[in-house]
Amino acid sequence: IDRGNEIHDEIVNRGLLRKNIMLGNALVDMYTKCGVLTKARQVFEGLPARDVVSWSSLIAGYARNGHGHEAYKCFKHMQKEGFTPNEVTFTCVLKACGSMGAIEKGEQIHDEIVSKNFLEKNMVLGNALVDMYAKCGAIAKAREVFNKVPIRDMVSWNAIITGYAQHGYFEEALNCFEKMQHDGLFPNSITFACILKACGRLGAIDKGKLIHFHIVRERLLEKDIIIGNALLDMYVKCGLLMRAQEVFDKLPARNVASWTILITGYSHLEREEVVVNLFSKMLEEGISPNIVTFTAVLNACSHFGLLDKGQMYFDAMSEQYGIIPTLEHHTCMVDLFSRAGHFDKAVSVIKKIPNS
């Protein structure tokens, strides 16, 4: 961004923006890709002339950075000014609709795309439609579009597999995974992460182990922490804590999700000493716990009557880590005090629960 600002200043000093729309578009695109959307909008508003590329760059920036509503507003404004969206514009605004869960808006855009016959020649648009419907929870519609895509690539398959996995259709996700391989496409990190989630929820440990073998063979654990965490979670969900521990110990890098998955697994098995030790090691490594970590730790303290530790961790949530305790955290503390016979303290916690 610093180099981009310097070049921007040089362009302005030479007065080049007044005569070159491509330069203006390149600046808008640069600022959106660097995440500086206010500056991108400022450049966009100052352009002496705008074309479909200018609008598409801004819409893409908003969509890419999670500002779905702004992206959609720009899309409608662009049409109001008489510009006809192209395939890139439609792809970006579909991403925005998916992030907002705006199924009706997405369907309207789908109709526009069909009316222009764009789907017949553009695989990227087909993939964007599948992804949009999947993110909106309209899985049947996503599958319908998927089946009509003339050529399917890894993105197409990942969009439908992710949709199935995210909305609890784990058997369907596994079926798609097998069909994808039958079509000669090798899974990537996104595919593996989704399928490991499906294996964990279904308890399909044999399939999970086979995927683990492929991941190790392709050396994916060395490059992608998300894959490592998905593998860890799969073994925990299947109740194989020893295998999960082995995966955890071999991870080249660990984040708060890695620690939390393992801590939660041991918490469910009521291994409170392991939970407390893991939590301490996590803090020693400089990893800050999140809401889910504290839920697992407080649950362990509650089941084993660790009054002092439970109170200490509960206080640390807000005082040290700035996390506001949820209803679940308060419930753990009520349970902890009640099991120990400290009913006055349990009632005191209940009175402090927000909106209770």
pTM greater than 0.85: no
User: Quick one: pLDDT band at residue 55, thresholds 50, 70, 90?
Assistant: very high
Q: Which residues contact 284 (CB under 8 A, 6 or more apart)?
A: none
Instruction: Mark 281-311 as b/e (b = at least 16 C-beta within 10 Å).
Output: ebeeeebebeeebbbbbbbbbbbbebbebbb
Average pLDDT over residues 18-25: 88
* pLDDT of 32 over the 90 cut: yes
C-alpha span between 99 and 304 (Å, rounded): 42
Q: How many CB atoms lie within 10 A of CB 314?
A: 21
Token output for 200? 């964990």
Determine if residue 168 is left, alpha or beta; phi over 0 gives left, psi from -120 to 50 gives alpha, anything else beta.
Answer: left
Summarize pLDDT for 67-87 with one digit per residue, the tens. 999 999 999 999 999 999 999
pLDDT given for residue 306 in this prediction: 85
Total number of residues shown for the chain: 356
Q: If DSSP states are collapsed to H, E and C, what string results for the chain?
A: CHHHHHHHHHHHHCCHHHCCHHHHHHHHHHHHHCCCHHHHHHHHHHCCCCCHHHHHHHHHHHHHCCCHHHHHHHHHHHHHCCCCCCHHHHHHHHHHHHHHCCHHHHHHHHHHHHHCCCCCCCHHHHHHHHHHHHHCCCHHHHHHHHHHCCCCCHHHHHHHHHHHHHCCCHHHHHHHHHHHHHCCCCCCHHHHHHHHHHHHHHCCHHHHHHHHHHHHHCCCCCCCHHHHHHHHHHHHHCCCHHHHHHHHHHCCCCCHHHHHHHHHHHHHCCCHHHHHHHHHHHHHCCCCCCHHHHHHHHHHHHHCCCHHHHHHHHHHHHHCCCCCCCHHHHHHHHHHHHHCCCHHHHHHHHHHCCCC
pLDDT given for residue 248 in this prediction: 95
Query: Which single residue is written with the structure tokens 């279904």?
Result: 202
User: Quick one: pLDDT band at residue 125, thresholds 50, 70, 90?
Assistant: very high
Residue type for 287, please? I
| Nearest C-alpha neighbor of 197 from the set 218, 220, 226 | 226
Residue with more model confidence, 116 or 231: 231
Residue with more model confidence, 2 or 270: 2
* pLDDT of 259 over the 80 cut: yes
Contact 259, 287 (CB under 8 A): yes
Query: What is the pLDDT of the chain when averaged over all its residues?
Result: 91
C-alpha span between 64 and 135 (Å, rounded): 15
pLDDT given for residue 222 in this prediction: 82
* pLDDT of 356 over the 70 cut: no
Token output for 223? 């490059």
Contact 306, 300 (CB under 8 A): yes
Sign of CA dihedral 182, 186, 190, 192: positive
C-alpha span between 272 and 262 (Å, rounded): 12
Summarize pLDDT for 260-286 with one digit per residue, the tens. 999 999 988 878 888 989 999 999 999
Average pLDDT over residues 165-169: 92
Summarize pLDDT for 207-236 with one digit per residue, the tens. 999 999 999 988 888 888 999 999 999 999
